[in-house]
Structures are given as structure tokens and as C-alpha cells.
Structure 1
Amino acid sequence: MLERVGPDGELLFGSQFHKFGGFGQRTKVALRAETLRERVEHFVNWASQLAHCLDRPHEVIPPDPHGALGTGRFRRTLAWHIARRPGALIALEVQYGHMRTAVSAGYASRSRDSIHDLLDIETARATADTLATLAADRAAGSGMSGPVARRAILAAGQAPAFEGVVFTARQARKLLTNPTLAVHDNPNAFLTCVYNPDKALCQLRGSQETPSLGRCVSTCANIARTDQHAAQLVLKADELDKQAAGGLVPGPLSERLRDHAVGLRDLADKHYRERIALSEAPA
């Protein structure tokens, strides 16, 4: 939408094409931070008023106890979604690695609170959360399967080191460049990626620092699954079977849904056959 507002080659938020009441400056200058902050607040008010008009009070945006949203908090929210929601609407299923480059390249490097740093920090936090979840699964007696199950278990053993850590950009980069801690949860694919770029089937480039979580391949050598992932596979298969039997989809599509459900159950069965009890694995 922003690309259609202004002509080709112009800034997405160029002041010349986003100035209310007429054109702004003739040179390539972006809207000022103060103007963008005002626009964000105007949007919040507009969205809440529209929710009231449509009799949808549950969609009203409540007053924020921390004050105005501002561009800084908006950028942190964007970084959170990119780092933690592979294949989500915010990324439109654009591959994870490309999204980091596409969003952050260019403008951010000039800012002290760069989007590069925000993405690194949020990705590090997501990695720490994944390690903590694996450690909790181990304490609960869960199991793990897959080519890199033991690597994931060893990485989970370092989870206590990150409890309560408020990451700085430098700490985040140190964690993300540690190959023994390159653990990325992908709930959309029902798996955990213990990333090794030399074996990654999601790779589109020769030197990709992070996995493309929107392009996970079930036969990849970087995959590990937990009992929770296996249970989610079965639930998804049940959902697909219900869609196929509901009489609302054409016959060929119904068959594809059933075939997909069978494939998901096969993955779950394989997990339970090959699982390693986390409590039995070396720390």
C-alpha cells in the first residue's frame, strides 16, 4: 500500500507524499519521528472509535499504562513478531532470514536503537525461551526425537545461564553466534531447529546466519521434535480429517487433506518410536 502511495524510487514514508493538506518538501526526506508518533496515536484513536461504531467493544485498544506507543515501541513490537512468529501474518510467510534483511537494511544502521539490534535481542530472547522450555520438558520426563535430538538436549542444559537475563545487543550477538545454542522453535511446523547452515535444507544462500523457519523441510538433518510437538501433530491431523469429512470441500481437496493427516500421524508415530527420554540423556 505504501509503495502505491508514492512513485517508484521514493521513500515509503517520504514527507512529500504523506503530508496532510498538500505536498511537503520536494527533496527525499522522511517524515520526522514526532510526526510518526502522532500518526501512531491517531491510528489508535481511529481504531477504537471504529470498534465502538461497529459495536465491537472487545476490539477497543485500551489506554496504555506506559504512555504513548511511539516509533521505538512499534519497532520493538515488529522485532518481536519477526523473531518469534515464523510464518505469521506480520511476515506473510516470507522466509525468516530474508525478512531480517528486508526490514532492517538501510535506514536502521544510522540509529542507536537500530532495528538490527532489536531483531538480535528478540531472537536471543526467543532462543533463551526455547532452551528454558526444553529444560522444563526434561524435568517433566518428556522425550525428544530427530537427527539433532542430543544436540538440543545438550543446549537445553545451558538454559539456567539465561534465566532472568536482560539481553543487550552485544550479549544477544554472542548467544546467536554460538553454534551450540542455535536452537529455534517453529510451532507452525511442529519442530525445533538446531541450526547448522551446512546441513540446512531451507538454505537459499551460502552463508545464512539464521534458519528460514517459513521453509522448514520435514527431512532436514537439523530437526528435533518433543512430545509436545508430536501431540500437536496428532491434533492437526484430527483437524484435517474433520475438514475432509465436513462435506464443504471438493473431493480432490478432501483426499489431499486426508493424505496430509496420514503424513502428520506418521511423523508423530516416528517420534514415539525413536524418542530419547530427556531425563536419560547426558547433561
Structure 2
Amino acid sequence: MTSQSFKGEVDPRGVTATWNVGEPVALAITMLEMLQPPDVDRLFNRLDHGAGGHKGRRNAAMTTGQTNDNLNHFAAWVNRYCDSHGRHDSIPAVNGRPFKLHTAQFRRTLAWFIARRPGGTIAGALQYRHHSIQVFEGYAGTSDSGFRAEVESEQALARGEHLLAVIDAHEHTCLAGPAAAEAARRLEEFGQRARFQGTVALDDRRLRRIMIRGDPAIYTSTYITCVHDPAKALCERARQAAFEGLGDHPQCQPLACRNVALTAANNDAWRREIDTLDQQLTRRPPLPPLLQDRLIRRKHQIEDFLATTQEPS
């Protein structure tokens, strides 16, 4: 999608910018273009048939309040359509009343995707045209928006759900690595806090509360399970209390850090890494000697690391 961007630009007329968007976004933009008259070049111009369409200048963008009104008018239309056509996929009521939509709610949806989808932060940076992930995280963390807190809350909830699944499957009893015993202890305590009448049954609100009060500070990733202890951490990220993303960031030193525990899935990932290195080392024509030496040393480091840990059964 190509348009004019004004954020962070010096030229008051804006500059041409391009966004990579998914199919749902492209379809939504097509619909917005169809709603506007041919001589209007704004997607969110006031609509003659919508909220605020007959107020003030015709060639003006919708306000937030008018957007909220249009959202709720649309939801009401959907429900009327479903009723008149015998459909059962209407927008459900909340506590017996129509659910009121407002634009701020969509920020929570964005936070959900950033927290729970691989590369979510990278996608956020691309969509906001930030030149680095750090800039996007800084934007998301501004005190005015509170958006960073929403993302972190969603990340903690997703992590809590995963850890409860690990406990429920008793996978925490067969960890390996230098931090295995500490991980098992923390997860056992976490499971006890989460249990109600012998079973783990939590709604999102209660799990968020438990994560705030008793977060076990365990972070899973493909290759390791990070059992955070700042006194033992080798990465600057952990020492600075930037917790989310631990175990899966460029500064992580998994083969040397004492905060590492290994699940069966982690061990499988390391085995696949060794297989990949073997394939690269046996390829023809052979790799340059310097690169080959680095790959051999990398393979030996992984093998030594796994040999010094007791693999999960």
C-alpha cells in the first residue's frame, strides 16, 4: 500500500511511503475506497450517510467520536441483517446489552498479535514504519499510550498459559541443564498457586493476577528454557530486567549461561542443529576453510554442552 506519511517527516506535505499489508487489510482499504466519492482522496473522510456526515466541512476526516459511532452503527446493522435473514452469527450481547465498540479496543487486538505471534514486534515495527525494533518498542512503551504495558501483559498471559500446560503434562519433572532443579521448584510452586480444588482451571483475569504476584520468571524458546536469575545472567538484557524475549535474543549465550534448563523439545532442537551443521560440512563443493572451521567448532560446542547435561527422559 502506498500513501503519504507525515510522522517523523520534515516536509509538511508528507512523503510517499509504502507498507506491506495482509489480505484483510487490502480488502478493508478497497471497501473504504468504494465508500468514498470518486473526487475524495482520503480513506477516512466523513461519509454523507455516516456519523458526522452533515456537520461542518464535507471534505474533512472523521473524528474519533464519529468513528466510534460508525463502528456501533455498523454492528447494529449486522445484527439487524442477521435477524431478518435467520442467521445465527450475529455480534453477541454482553450482559444482555449490545457491546459498545471504540477504537482503543483495537489496540488490545494489536497487542495480542505482537505478544503471541512469532516476529510480532518486527511486524509492528514494519507497520508503523519504524526503522528498528528498538524504535517501535520505544513508541509502544510511551507513558501516554500505555501500549507497552498491554503488550507485556499479553506476553505474560501467554507465557503463563504455556507454563501451566507444561506443569499439567508433568514436563517440569524431567528437565535437564544447570538450572533444571530451580526450574522444577519454581514451576511446582507456580502450579500450586494456580490450582483450585486439585485442578488447574483459570480464567484470564485470575491468571494475570497470579503472574503479577508470583511470576516464576521462566521463559521458553526453541533452544533453551531461561530460568531467570540476574545474579547468574550473562546477557545484558536479563541484567537490565528486560525479561520478555529472554532465551531468544541475539545476546543470549545458551551454551555458557547457568540460567539454562532444557526440555525434551529443546534437546530435539539442538540435535536438529547438529544435523544441519553436518549437512553443511559435507556439502560439495566444500565450504571455505575458515567457515568450515567455525562450523566444526560450533558443532563440538553443542555436543559438549549436551554431553554435560542429563537429557530429559
Equivalents in 1 of 2:230, 2:136: separation in Å?
17
User: TM-score, length-normalised on structure 2?
Assistant: 0.54
In structure 2, the partner of 1:186 is 221
Structure-2 change in CA distance of 1:115 and 1:206 (3 Å): closer
Cα shift readout 1:71-107 (whole Å, capped 9, x = no counterpart): 54233212323xxx47985489xx9999755533245
Q: What is the aligned-residue identity percentage?
A: 16
Q: Does 1:222 align with 2:255?
A: no
Query: Aligned pairs, how many?
Result: 225
Structure-2 change in CA distance of 1:131 and 1:222 (3 Å): farther
Q: Does 1:159 align with 2:191?
A: yes
**Does the Cα contact within 8 Å between 1:86 and 1:96 map onto a contact in 2?**
no
In structure 1, the partner of 2:302 is 264
Structure-2 change in CA distance of 1:167 and 1:7 (3 Å): closer
**Does the Cα contact within 8 Å between 1:203 and 1:211 map onto a contact in 2?**
no
In structure 2, the partner of 1:21 is 41
In structure 2, the partner of 1:54 is none
Uncovered stretches (5+) of structure 1, i.e. residues with no partner = 39-64, 278-283
In structure 2, the partner of 1:108 is 145
Q: CA shift at 1:138, angstroms?
A: 3.7
Q: CA shift at 1:229, angstroms?
A: 1.5
In structure 2, the partner of 1:41 is none
**Does the Cα contact within 8 Å between 1:199 and 1:221 map onto a contact in 2?**
yes
Q: CA shift at 1:152, angstroms?
A: 0.8
Cα shift readout 1:117-150 (whole Å, capped 9, x = no counterpart): 34213323213313432552448xx632233211
The amino acid that maps onto 1:184 is: Y
Q: Does 1:74 align with 2:110?
A: yes
Q: Does 1:132 align with 2:171?
A: no
Cα shift readout 1:45-89 (whole Å, capped 9, x = no counterpart): xxxxxxxxxxxxxxxxxxxx899x9554233212323xxx47985
User: TM-score, length-normalised on structure 1?
Assistant: 0.59
Uncovered stretches (5+) of structure 2, i.e. residues with no partner = 18-39, 45-60, 72-88, 92-104, 126-131
In structure 1, the partner of 2:272 is 235
Equivalents in 2 of 1:149, 1:204: separation in Å?
21
The amino acid that maps onto 2:229 is: N
Structure-2 change in CA distance of 1:241 and 1:72 (3 Å): same
Structure-2 change in CA distance of 1:73 and 1:205 (3 Å): closer
Q: Does 1:175 align with 2:211?
A: yes
Structure-2 change in CA distance of 1:270 and 1:137 (3 Å): farther
Equivalents in 2 of 1:21, 1:249: separation in Å?
57
Equivalents in 2 of 1:73, 1:245: separation in Å?
47
After TM superposition, list the pairs within 5 Å mapping 1:38-77 onto structure 2: 72-77=108-113
Question: Secondary structure in 2 aligned to 1:108?
Answer: coil
In structure 2, the partner of 1:149 is 180
When Rg is computed on C-alpha atoms for both structures, the one with the higher figure is 2
Structure-2 change in CA distance of 1:97 and 1:178 (3 Å): farther
Q: CA shift at 1:206, angstroms?
A: 5.7
Alpha-carbon RMSD across the aligned residues, in angstroms, is 4.8
Cα shift readout 1:210-233 (whole Å, capped 9, x = no counterpart): 155202212222211123322221
Q: Which runs of 4+ in 1 moved over 6 A?
A: 14-18, 95-99
Question: Secondary structure in 2 aligned to 1:271?
Answer: coil
Deviates more, 1:201-210 or 1:191-200: 201-210
Equivalents in 2 of 1:96, 1:224: separation in Å?
28
Q: Does 1:201 align with 2:234?
A: yes
